[in-house]
Structure 1
């Protein structure tokens, strides 16, 4: 009977707490770890989906008594678009940091400025988003032009260099097979069989095309490419041919073996090596190379009048979004069905959540960036040698956020500083203990010091890893020899024996 009672169905009420990843929360997390450009692209998609959202084009701040251009019935600009600057002194502001879900008005005043913003004075920075806060957006002369491609450049020379139709056909086939670096590894016999002609004719066409601009194209390997360029300069003598036949010894800096094989003395060998280094090993690589994409910083930084640092989110990449509440009210009055009213209500909630997420993202990025700048004050004033050890927990404790939030904030974000543009994660480095229990040192600063020691070493007394360890310990860095070797490899610094060979050949 008791067993039957235990198996009987019954109703229980239980109270529990659980974190549910709602779509809105996932959206806020995604925005937090996205760069300004990615956020702008996301906002563009939302503008297409949500009829209650509209873009507020950039306008200069209105003067006293002037109309701000906001309709009285609804457009509500997102506060992140009005975010200007926060002053970072030697310490963070005393008011501390609010949690991630804090309102923007709790972090900033009604004018959009953060606490400590130049005593509340109105300061106008340039709208161009430049690292120097300049208003000048740049002219057409700053834009990279699109020149002819490598194949177009070579095709024009083929049309001018060959009058025979058969030779032009062979040249066109070679042009189609050449790789972007300028190599054509196929043998003349194989090309001749595929084209239905004789191999000597293919070789003759290839030889003429190797002298096209840029010189050294259509070669089978590096040796032939360098030989063609040297022949163009009338420098391909027997000694140089012997050097090209032993490029592996040149890479190893085997000076004694090269002098014996080439039959030259040390001075002539240095001149020959210098001649080799002036050649282009991949003549086609630089022709079609795409221009490096411009790195757009998310945070701008400059020195403040009081000696601290002024930070602001890059206004050139931040979207300005409005919620058109007037349109929402008029649409509700004209709604003819319950589905229409439900749709408008959902769109309004989505728009409000988007703006709140953008506001929280802006405030969180500024707080984290301010904490990083305050911790790395020595780096910004004196250079990489003064970079301090820093981990996510240090910043998280400073701004009262979780480490995962700080990690998302610093992901894909860059800051433009007087020392250049850096990724925010660059300032997080592991610590290396100091000798005698002294202050720890940043791993990045130690790597910089190793590079400086190697650059300044005497060619007659090249520093070994053990010697570098001794030098660093004299400077208060407790480091092991294997760590020095690991850092040296990461910096692509050869071993002491290899550097001794390199420094023995001045070229």
Structure 2
């Protein structure tokens, strides 16, 4: 045996602390980013907020609450106004809608008489009622109701659960308040088990849908990216300037301090370190913003059909496809799309929503996105008749007619994930619906 020495040369990637922080910043959501920037300003005397910006300029060290540096929580009226602007109203209907929105109370109820409003606006009552009906489809569910019963009815209709038996229950809320279950069973035409299920559904509803906003707590999602139709066609993608922290170096202060510490090497080293860190933060914030816009732009390009026509046109998409298209690493796309939200004319979506699994086409054509397939299953169930409730096998067969190759067990998994009951349970519910209808006609 013989021992010997040899030299081996190899390359390795060493991540500096600043590079690690830059990577971490990509993954931060808006509140986390503001908190991080505020901590950096507390540590670095050379940094300040721009004068006149939404962030208060710094005056030496401060113990200002973090809430002063983030956007104010969205009010109920702001939330409704935003949705009205994206709803397909005629100009006159949009005017009526804004007037009606002005009569919302903090709990989300419409505190105005439709007939009085019609008289004041000199328009037919039917037009006012039609606009109210459209507004009752806005978020949060149950909004623009004029009574507790109507609020619950709106939410049940949106869940496709307002059958005749449930209608009878809503019409007898006073009996429910007395807990007279025997009378309720007779009036609803259901047995004890069905009544208990119905009561459980009622308890899951929100009798005051506006309260989440009235509390003032920042519970609403703050979109990072806004996508709006471009006047020349296509889409305009931009970051919300009110949510992006902006900092700069106080050059006047740098000049003053430089003169004072010029002869003190220790102080000058500290000053240079602060200046280096300040430049790094400004550069990292700019790079983070540019990367988010870059990734969002490619997502919009890939999913433009979804923005135009809805969820049925959502394409299969993965992180690698976006990364390759814009020439960045796949892990960067993953970080950028974590905890980030995009505001579109079709609603607010997490960026990761647009990445869906590809379902193979049975005809050898383009693959289908898993989200679009789920949407199609939901539509099939919604179109079922009393005498034609589809089993999971039948749904799988129907999907094949659309060129979607999906196994029965996968259909079951998707159905259960969407809280759609089994075919046996749906058939039972439709039977109750039909019996309830017949009972109403007989009475």
Distance 1:46 1:144, change over 3 A: farther
- In structure 1, distance between residues paired with 2:103 and 2:295: 33
- In structure 1, distance between residues paired with 2:195 and 2:178: 21
Distance 1:490 1:279, change over 3 A: closer
Identify unmatched segments of 5+ residues in structure 1. Answer: 61-129, 134-140, 147-225, 253-272
Alignment-derived partner of residue 25 in structure 2:
31
Contact in 2 for aligned 1:229/1:279 (Cα 8 Å): no
Once the two structures are overlaid, the 10-residue window that deviates more, 456-465 or 329-338, is 329-338
For residues 352-402 of structure 1, give each alpha carbon's deviation from its aligned partner in whole angstroms, at most 9, with x where no partner exists.
111111111111111100110000011000000000000011001001111
For residues 295-326 of structure 1, give each alpha carbon's deviation from its aligned partner in whole angstroms, at most 9, with x where no partner exists.
11001110112211111111011112111233
- In structure 2, distance between residues paired with 1:53 and 1:41: 15
Question: Please, what is the CA RMSD of the aligned residues?
Answer: 3.7
Residue 14 of structure 1 deviates from its aligned partner by: 6.2
Alignment-derived partner of residue 315 in structure 1:
241
Alignment-derived partner of residue 54 in structure 1:
48
Once the two structures are overlaid, the 10-residue window that deviates more, 277-286 or 34-43, is 277-286
Residue 59 of structure 1 deviates from its aligned partner by: 6.0
- In structure 2, distance between residues paired with 1:327 and 1:39: 25
Contact in 2 for aligned 1:469/1:481 (Cα 8 Å): yes
Identify unmatched segments of 5+ residues in structure 2. Answer: 55-81, 87-101, 108-169, 437-443
| Pairing 1:297-312 to 2, within 5 Å after superposition | 297-312=223-238
For residues 412-464 of structure 1, give each alpha carbon's deviation from its aligned partner in whole angstroms, at most 9, with x where no partner exists.
11011111110000000000011121211000000000000001111221111
Residue 51 of structure 1 deviates from its aligned partner by: 0.5
Alignment-derived partner of residue 259 in structure 2:
333
Contact in 1 for aligned 2:392/2:412 (Cα 8 Å): yes
For residues 279-309 of structure 1, give each alpha carbon's deviation from its aligned partner in whole angstroms, at most 9, with x where no partner exists.
6579999999766712110011101122111
- Aligned partner (choices 340, 345, 364) of residue 418 of structure 1: 345
Alignment-derived partner of residue 98 in structure 2:
none
Residue 57 of structure 1 deviates from its aligned partner by: 3.8
Matched, 1:351 2:253: no
Matched, 1:396 2:326: no
Distance 1:247 1:287, change over 3 A: farther
Name the structure where helix makes up a greater proportion of residues.
2
Alignment-derived partner of residue 294 in structure 1:
220
For residues 31-88 of structure 1, give each alpha carbon's deviation from its aligned partner in whole angstroms, at most 9, with x where no partner exists.
111123321221111111100100014469xxxxxxxxxxxxxxxxxxxxxxxxxxxx
Other structure's SS at 2:363 match: helix
- In structure 2, distance between residues paired with 1:281 and 1:390: 35
Alignment-derived partner of residue 37 in structure 2:
43
Contact in 1 for aligned 2:22/2:284 (Cα 8 Å): yes
Contact in 2 for aligned 1:302/1:311 (Cα 8 Å): yes
Distance 1:343 1:382, change over 3 A: same
- Aligned partner (choices 20, 43, 60) of residue 14 of structure 2: 20
- In structure 1, distance between residues paired with 2:202 and 2:309: 39
- In structure 1, distance between residues paired with 2:188 and 2:253: 79
- In structure 2, distance between residues paired with 1:292 and 1:40: 15
| Pairing 1:110-129 to 2, within 5 Å after superposition | none
- In structure 2, distance between residues paired with 1:144 and 1:53: 44
Alignment-derived partner of residue 137 in structure 1:
none
Residue 247 of structure 1 deviates from its aligned partner by: 4.0
- Aligned partner (choices 248, 252, 255) of residue 193 of structure 2: 248
Contact in 2 for aligned 1:57/1:320 (Cα 8 Å): no
| Pairing 1:422-501 to 2, within 5 Å after superposition | 422-501=349-428
- In structure 2, distance between residues paired with 1:381 and 1:342: 56
Residue 278 of structure 1 deviates from its aligned partner by: 9.1
- In structure 1, distance between residues paired with 2:235 and 2:206: 46
Residue 16 of structure 1 deviates from its aligned partner by: 3.8
Other structure's SS at 1:505 match: helix
Contact in 2 for aligned 1:390/1:430 (Cα 8 Å): yes
Residue 486 of structure 1 deviates from its aligned partner by: 0.7
* Paired residues, number: 324
Distance 1:445 1:346, change over 3 A: same
Distance 1:467 1:358, change over 3 A: same
Distance 1:425 1:143, change over 3 A: farther
Distance 1:25 1:143, change over 3 A: farther
Residue 243 of structure 1 deviates from its aligned partner by: 9.7
